[in-house]
């Protein structure tokens, strides 16, 4: 699938499945950034005064303490399992204050910065040849 | 990508529907409503799968008794705030209207039939909630008969919220059930709302291990 079609399908899941507006989709040379002022999934939970969150820093919670248990599906499924299955994260999630989130879809997965592998306790594999 | 396309990709299906209605495009509006129906069902199903899987995981590791506690906690946090109205000062007709609304406008399904007799209203429907889960070939279900599973073995872990919350907890809090749940084959269910709670048959207390209190005086 082309990167453009991935962007269209990823947008569709927000707009037609979660049925939420996306605040902005920005393109630069390397990637598309989906900006959500409040993520309609875990972002809402993060705004609840009481909700489950990691008591320790785990690789499957971006190496951070205090990650909402619900939100850890992003790091476990779309990043860690994405790397296991395809060699790179499906997209990168960067949590923002007040329930916001930015998701990055890289045009070339090779350009995904190494730090996004490291925060999961993984190493980015160098392309052979 | 074209900036206009990127902007259009940000618009929710609800806003697209509102736009189609304002533009008088009935065909497009109808297609969007059908898409909302399909996607809502799939979206809700994805959460039902998650809940069923988590309940099964908990039961396998902590024992099925832990499910009773989880459903009670969920009741206090999520269900009673949404359904506590049923014990408020309200006519039985309004209760029927509100209960029907929860199916038609919250779950978003059609009810097959609402039947009234002298004692009660019966709301009959294919349950999009636990009824869907019960139709899956693989889902968590009780390995033993518990009072909190209507004294039956093989009740879906997901469906347990009905006997735990709307039977046991309701009786604890208010002395009677807001409605009686009867599971039927193929994911169908029937909710019976008694006009006079005193008329709720004793067997519906016994199946959850409780006794119906006799009215004093």
pLDDT at A3 over 80: yes
Examine the pLDDT at A99 and tell me if it is beyond 60. Answer: yes
B32 assigned to some structural domain: no
Report CB contact under 8 Å: A21, B35. Answer: no
CB within 8 Å: A21 and B6 = no
Contact A27 B43 (CB under 8 A): no
- Could you give the CA distance from residue B190 to residue B182 in angstroms, rounded to a whole number? 5
Residue B4, C-beta contacts closer than 8 angstroms, at least 6 positions apart:
none
Contact A21 B13 (CB under 8 A): no
From B1, B10, B35, residue closest to A22, measured CB to CB: B10
Q: What is the pLDDT of residue B217?
A: 53
Q: Which of residues 10-29 of A touch B (CB under 8 A)?
A: 11-12, 14-27
Find the mean pLDDT for residues A17-29: 97
Contact: A27, B12; criterion CB under 8 Å: no
Q: Residue B63 region, left (φ>0) first, then alpha (ψ -120 to 50), else beta?
A: left
Number of domains observed in the structure of chain B: 1
Query: Which of B2, B3, B4, B13 is best to mutate for the A interface (most A CBs within 10 A)?
Result: B13
pLDDT surpasses 70 at A39? yes
The pLDDT assigned to A125 comes to 86
Beta strands in A28-95 (DSSP E): 31-36, 92-95
Domain of residue B78, residue span:
63-206
Model confidence at A127, in pLDDT bands (50, 70, 90)? confident
Residues of chain B with pLDDT under 50: none
How long is chain A? 129
Nearest residue of B to residue A35 by CA position?
B10
Tell me the C-alpha distance between B78 and A42, whole Å: 16
Mean pLDDT value across chain A: 96
Closest CA to B111 of B8, A97, B101, A36: B101
Write down the pLDDT at residue A128: 61
B114, part of any domain: yes
Q: Taking 90 as the threshold, does the pLDDT of residue A25 lie above it?
A: yes
Strands (E), chain B: 113-116, 120-126, 180-183, 188-194
Contact between B6 and A20 using a beta-carbon 8 Å cutoff: no
Sort strands B180-183 and A24-27 into parallel, antiparallel or unpaired: unpaired
Predicted pLDDT at A122: 97
Min Cα distance A13 → chain B (Å) is 10
Q: What is the pLDDT of residues B30-81, one digit of tens each?
A: 999 999 999 999 999 999 999 999 999 999 999 999 999 999 999 999 999 9
Q: From the list A4, A8, A15, which residue is nearest B11 (CB)?
A: A15
- Show residues of chain B in contact with A22, CB under 8 Å: 9-10
Mean pLDDT of A97-103: 97
- How much is the pLDDT for A46? 96
Closest CA to B162 of B196, B122, B189: B189
Q: What is the CATH number of the domain that holds B116?
A: 3.30.1380
Q: What is the pLDDT at residue A129?
A: 55
Kindly indicate whether the ipTM for this predicted assembly is greater than 0.85, answering yes or no: yes
| From A21, A26, A32, residue closest to B11, measured CB to CB | A21
Q: What is the pLDDT of residue B99?
A: 96
């Amino acid at each position: 699938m082309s990167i453009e079609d991935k962007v269209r399908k990823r947008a569709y899941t927000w707009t037609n499945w979660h049925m939420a507006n996306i605040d902005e989709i920005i393109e630069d040379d390397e990637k598309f950034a989906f900006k959500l002022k409040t993520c309609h999934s875990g972002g809402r939970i993060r705004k609840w005064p009481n909700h489950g969150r990691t008591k320790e820093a785990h690789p499957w919670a971006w190496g951070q303490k205090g990650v909402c248990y619900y939100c850890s599906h992003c790091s476990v499924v779309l990043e860690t399992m994405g790397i296991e299955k395809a060699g790179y994260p499906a997209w990168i999630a960067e949590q923002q204050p007040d329930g916001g989130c930015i998701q990055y879809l890289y045009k070339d997965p090779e350009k995904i910065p190494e730090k996004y592998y490291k925060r999961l306790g993984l190493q980015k594999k160098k392309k052979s040849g | 990508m074209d900036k206009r396309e990127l902007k259009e990709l940000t618009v929710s299906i609800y806003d697209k529907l509102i736009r189609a209605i304002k533009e008088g495009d009935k065909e497009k509006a109808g297609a969007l409503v059908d898409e909302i129906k399909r996607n809502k069902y799939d979206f809700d199903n994805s959460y039902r799968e998650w809940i069923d899987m988590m309940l099964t995981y908990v039961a396998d590791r902590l024992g099925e008794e832990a499910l009773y506690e989880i459903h009670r906690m969920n009741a206090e946090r999520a269900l009673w705030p949404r359904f506590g109205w049923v014990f408020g000062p309200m006519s039985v007709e309004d209760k029927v209207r509100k209960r029907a609304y929860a199916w038609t406008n919250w779950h978003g399904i059609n009810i097959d039939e609402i039947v009234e007799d002298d004692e009660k209203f019966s709301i009959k429907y294919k349950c999009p909630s636990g009824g869907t889960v019960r139709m899956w070939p693989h889902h968590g279900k009780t390995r033993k008969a518990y009072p909190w599973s209507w004294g039956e073995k093989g009740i879906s872990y997901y469906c347990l919220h009905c006997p735990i919350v709307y039977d046991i907890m309701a009786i604890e809090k208010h002395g009677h059930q807001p409605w009686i749940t009867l599971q039927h084959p193929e994911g169908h269910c029937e909710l019976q709302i008694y006009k006079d709670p005193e008329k709720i048959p004793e067997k519906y207390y016994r199946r959850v291990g409780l006794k119906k209190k006799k009215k004093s005086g």
